């Protein structure tokens, strides 16, 4: 019981969920208030559509003058929704928003929630007006939901290029994906509703295949739920489930609950975000506190596994350690290795500033995603997984008690993963390069060959 409470505090504080007022929050908040406050009372109007157009926040494409580690800029523009069919219900071909309610969960680990059930949704009650056929939100919650839907639409339009999976294939596996907006999360173990609800920002629930979004304060620079980079990260978790778990992460699954695998899942999700946007700086636009964005900015990090093992990754953020994001640090090393392999590959060179094309970011991530599909079976058949009882990991229904103190144990898990994963990548320069980068980052402790 105590460990669950501890997990929530540790993981979610490190999921970067405390939002501080930023010096530069005025940039976007100002615009948000201008177009909300300009609205007086007016009768409900009908928006033309589908397709609907709305005043939404959009990420500007990364420019050649920018580095991959730079945070992209955002602006307000009229955007047209591709897949939204019913504006007032925020219901479309692939996504449906559900407002409020209580989500019961077994545990929260990073941005993953093990949802068990959901109840008591309220009606959406969107408030907007229509100006020249364009939907303009009249309150913050309408704005946050519309913006969020728009980011999901953007991802849906690109997902096949990014991963090889079409939205129709995803829908066949998952059904229409619900996005729970502003739910309370109640943990079945201790009923600590407030703890989980107030510290999460955006999350994915494997098994239930649902996303959870919070609007948070009006003082965020780019609202989390409207940040394409953050939404793409969460969507990456659903792709991991599709590839690594064949579309259905089992309940009480030892491998998924291992510290190291939770880390790899996070790194994969960051890689997924970068594949879409071209930026590895996933968090700076929404959460710019302490040094969290820079520790996650995987093209720019310089630490190695040995620098974060022996308890360092789980130490206090004031410890001076190069990464204090717990299991996320392992994911950041994984994403960094993939990023460098993509950059250094000579035959063919993957084009990092292009999403599309046979050697674009999408092609690289599709290869990674495809390799993930048989990785789990390979791990289970390897006979090389360490005995979980060595770290007192006996309850496979909640995250392992492991941490970065279990350097050797985690290295066995990682080595088993990497060996199985690499076998799924076609023999050649790309595989050689990925292997080399993984060896560079994880060393002999973090990438054990046994």
Contacts to Zn ion by CB under 5 A: 110-111, 266, 269
Tell me the closest approach of the beta carbon of residue 171 to Zn ion, in angstroms: 22
Q: What are phi and psi of 414, to 5 degrees?
A: -65, -45
Within 10 A of 18 (CB to CB), how many other CB atoms are there?
14
Per the CB < 8 A criterion, the answer to whether 410 and 446 are in contact is: yes
CB of 203 to Zn ion, least distance (A): 7
How far apart are alpha carbons 374 and 140 in whole angstroms?
Answer: 44
Distance CA 63, CA 35 (A): 28
CA distances to 4, 8, 219 from 1, rounded to whole Å, are 5, 11, 35
Least distance CB 188 / Zn ion (angstroms): 21
Minimum distance from CB of 37 to Zn ion (Å)?
34
Closer of 111 and 275 to Zn ion (Cβ): 111
Residue with smallest beta-carbon separation from Zn ion: 111
Q: Please provide the DSSP assignment of 149-173 as one string.
A: HHHHHHHHHHHHHHHS--HHHHHHH
**Sign of the CA dihedral 354, 430, 384, 326?**
negative
| Shortest distance (Å) from residue 197 CB to Zn ion | 17
Residue of 309, 289, 303 whose CA lies nearest to 413: 309
Of 15 and 430, which CB lies nearer to Zn ion in the complex structure?
A: 15
Least distance from Zn ion to the Cβ atom of residue 111, Å = 3
Q: Which is nearer to Zn ion, 225 or 269 (CB)?
A: 269
Q: Are 441 and 337 in contact (CB under 8 A)?
A: yes
CB 416 within 8 A of CB 276: no
Residue with smaller CB distance to Zn ion, 258 or 266? 266
Specify whether the CB–CB gap between 323 and 332 falls below 8 A: yes
Least CB distance to Zn ion at residue 49 (A): 32
Separation of alpha carbons 82 and 417, rounded Å? 38
Residues forming beta bridges with residue 80, ordered by sequence position: 53
In the complex, minimum distance from the CB of residue 331 to Zn ion, in angstroms, rounded to a whole number: 8
Report the residue number, 269 or 341, with the smaller CB distance to Zn ion: 269
In the structure encoding, which two tokens stand for residue 179, read together? 């996005």
Residues whose CB is less than 8 angstroms from the CB of residue 49 and which lie 6 or more positions away in sequence, other chains included: 81, 84, 87
**Of residues 111 and 420, the one with the C-beta less far from Zn ion:** 111
- By C-beta, is 328 or 442 nearer to Zn ion? 328
**Would you say 47 or 242 has its CB closer to Zn ion?**
242
């Amino acid at each position: 019981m105590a460990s669950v409470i501890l997990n929530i505090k540790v993981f979610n504080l490190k999921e970067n969920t405390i939002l501080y007022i930023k010096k530069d929050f005025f940039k976007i908040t100002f615009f948000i208030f201008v177009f909300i406050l300009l609205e007086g009372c007016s009768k409900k109007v009908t928006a033309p559509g589908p397709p609907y157009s709305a005043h939404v926040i959009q990420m500007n494409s990364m420019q050649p003058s920018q580095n991959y580690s730079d945070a992209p800029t955002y602006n307000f523009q009229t955007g047209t929704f591709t897949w939204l069919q019913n504006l007032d219900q925020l219901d479309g071909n692939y996504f449906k928003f559900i407002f409020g309610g209580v989500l019961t969960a077994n545990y929260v680990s990073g941005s993953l929630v093990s949802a068990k059930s959901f109840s008591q949704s309220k009606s959406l009650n969107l408030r907007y007006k229509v100006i020249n056929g364009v939907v303009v939100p009249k309150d913050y919650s309408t704005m946050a939901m519309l913006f969020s839907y728009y980011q999901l639409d953007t991802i849906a339009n690109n997902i096949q290029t990014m991963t090889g999976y079409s939205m129709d294939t995803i829908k066949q596996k998952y059904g229409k994906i619900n996005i729970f907006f502003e739910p309370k999360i109640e943990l079945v173990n201790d009923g600590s509703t407030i703890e989980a609800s107030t510290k999460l920002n955006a999350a994915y629930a494997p098994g239930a295949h649902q996303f959870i979004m919070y609007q948070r304060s009006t003082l965020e620079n780019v609202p989390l739920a409207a940040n394409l980079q953050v939404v793409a990260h969460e969507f990456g978790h659903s792709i991991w489930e599709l590839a690594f778990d064949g579309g259905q992460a089992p309940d009480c699954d030892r491998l998924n609950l291992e510290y190291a695998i939770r880390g790899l899942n996070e790194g994969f999700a960051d890689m997924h975000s970068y594949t879409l946007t071209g930026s590895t700086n996933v968090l700076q636009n929404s959460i710019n506190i302490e040094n969290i964005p820079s520790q996650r900015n995987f093209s720019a990090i310089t630490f190695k596994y040995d620098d974060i093992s022996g308890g360092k990754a789980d130490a206090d953020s004031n410890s001076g350690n190069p990464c204090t994001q717990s299991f996320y640090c392992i994911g950041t090393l994984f994403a960094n290795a993939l990023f460098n392999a993509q950059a250094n590959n000579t035959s063919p060179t993957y084009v990092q500033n292009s999403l599309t094309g046979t050697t674009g970011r999408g092609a690289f991530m599709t290869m990674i995603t495809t390799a993930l599909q048989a990785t789990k079976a390979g791990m289970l058949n390897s006979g090389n997984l360490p005995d979980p009882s060595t770290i007192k990991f006996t309850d496979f229904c909640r995250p392992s008690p492991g941490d970065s103190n279990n350097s050797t144990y985690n290295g066995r898990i990682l080595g088993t993963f990497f060996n199985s994963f690499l076998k799924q990548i076609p023999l050649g320069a790309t595989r050689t390069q990925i292997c080399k980068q993984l060896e560079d980052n994880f060393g002999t402790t973090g990438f054990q060959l046994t």
